[in-house]
Amino acid sequence: MTTPTAGPALEVRGLTKRFGGVIAVDACSFEAPLGQVTGLIGPNGAGKSTAIDLISGFKLPDSGTVLFKGREIQGLPPHQISRLGLIRTFQSPREWPGLTVLENVVMARWDPGREGFFSGLVGLGRAHRVKAEDELIQAREILDEFGLSALRNERAGNLSGGQKRLVEFARIRMAAPELVILDEPMGGVNPVLGERMALAIEGFIASGTSVIVVEHNLPFIERVTHHVIVMAQGTVIAEGPFESLRSNADVVDAYLGEQVRQ
C-alpha cells in the first residue's frame, strides 16, 4: 500500500453548520496527523458529534472544506467517503443486530466486485469461492484477536454493550480503512475493557489506519492519543499533546474545569 508520505490524514478548514439559528459547528479547523491517534474532546454541546457527521457525510456542512488524502470530500454521501477509506463509528454501537457476529465482520468489508445482483447469481466459480473462503479465514482471525471467537455464531443484537464495541472494532479491522473516527468508544463500556480498547487502537495504527477518537473519558484519551484537539462552542479552542493542555487556561475553563468543579 502506498500512503502519501507527507500531509495529514485529515484536514478540516472552516467547517460550519447551523441548525436554525444555532451554530453547531463554527468555522472549525484542525488537522489529524497521519499514522497517529488524534483525540477530539470538549464539553457536551461543543459540536464534536456534528463535526463527525459533517466529515463522514451524514450531515451536509453549510460551508468549509474537508480534505482527506488531499481530496475534498465535503458534501459527498457517506458511502463514498467510506469507500475512499474513511470509516466512522457511532456513539451507540450500530451492529447489524439480526446478523451473526461473524457476518457483521465479513460484511464490514465492502466488496464492489461481489456485491452486485448478478455476481450473487453467477458467482459460483472457483475464484469466487476462494475469495469468500479467504475472507472467512481473515474474519475468524480478527475475531480471535478480539476474543470473540466463541460468540461468532451469536446474533450481534444479543451481545452486551462492551461486546458490541468489540464487534465494532473487529469490523473496522476487517474494513481496514486509512482513517477511522471512533465516536465515544468507551461510552457505556466496562472500564476493564479500556485496556483492550487501547490495545486495539494501537493495533489500528500498526496496521496503517490513522485514528481520530472522540471521548469524554480523559484518562483514556491520555492513554491512547498522541495529539488532542479541544472543541468548545463549535470551534477548536486548543490543541497539542494531552499534557500541554492541562495547563491551558481556556481548556481548563471550558472543559476540564467543569469536571474539577463537579
* Residues found near another protein in the complex (CB under 8 A): 53, 56, 58-60, 77-80, 82-83, 87-90, 94-100, 102-103, 106-111, 114-117, 119-121, 123-124, 136, 140, 144, 147-153, 155, 160-163, 166, 171, 175, 188-190, 192-193
Question: CB of residue 101 vs another protein: minimum separation in angstroms?
Answer: 10
Rounded Cα distance between 66 and 179, Å, is 13
Question: CB of residue 175 vs another protein: minimum separation in angstroms?
Answer: 6
Question: CB of residue 139 vs another protein: minimum separation in angstroms?
Answer: 9
Rounded Cα distance between 69 and 246, Å, is 31
**Number of Cβ within a 10 Å radius of residue 21:** 5
In the complex with another protein, the residue whose CB is nearer, 7 or 123, is: 123
Cell 460468540, residue located: 151
Question: CB of residue 123 vs another protein: minimum separation in angstroms?
Answer: 7
* Length of the chain in terms of residues written: 262
In the complex with another protein, the residue whose CB is nearer, 169 or 242, is: 169
Angle (nearest 5°) at CA 128 between 180 and 203 = 25
In the complex with another protein, the residue whose CB is nearer, 166 or 228, is: 166
Which amino acid appears at position 201 of this protein? I
In the complex with another protein, the residue whose CB is nearer, 6 or 118, is: 118
Rounded Cα distance between 215 and 42, Å, is 9
Closest CA to 108 of 169, 163, 172: 172
Question: CB of residue 94 vs another protein: minimum separation in angstroms?
Answer: 4
In the complex with another protein, the residue whose CB is nearer, 147 or 219, is: 147
Q: Which residues contact 171 (CB under 8 A, 6 or more apart)?
A: 104, 105, 108
In the complex with another protein, the residue whose CB is nearer, 104 or 232, is: 104
Question: CB of residue 254 vs another protein: minimum separation in angstroms?
Answer: 27
Rounded Cα distance between 230 and 253, Å, is 12
The side-by-side arrangement of strands in the sheet containing 10-19 is 22-32, 10-19, 63-68, 71-72
Cell 463535526, residue located: 51
In the complex with another protein, the residue whose CB is nearer, 108 or 224, is: 108
In the complex with another protein, the residue whose CB is nearer, 201 or 251, is: 201
Rounded Cα distance between 134 and 238, Å, is 45
Question: CB of residue 60 vs another protein: minimum separation in angstroms?
Answer: 8
Q: Which residues contact 183 (CB under 8 A, 6 or more apart)?
A: 49, 52, 88, 89, 90, 91, 214
Question: CB of residue 127 vs another protein: minimum separation in angstroms?
Answer: 14
Rounded Cα distance between 143 and 76, Å, is 32
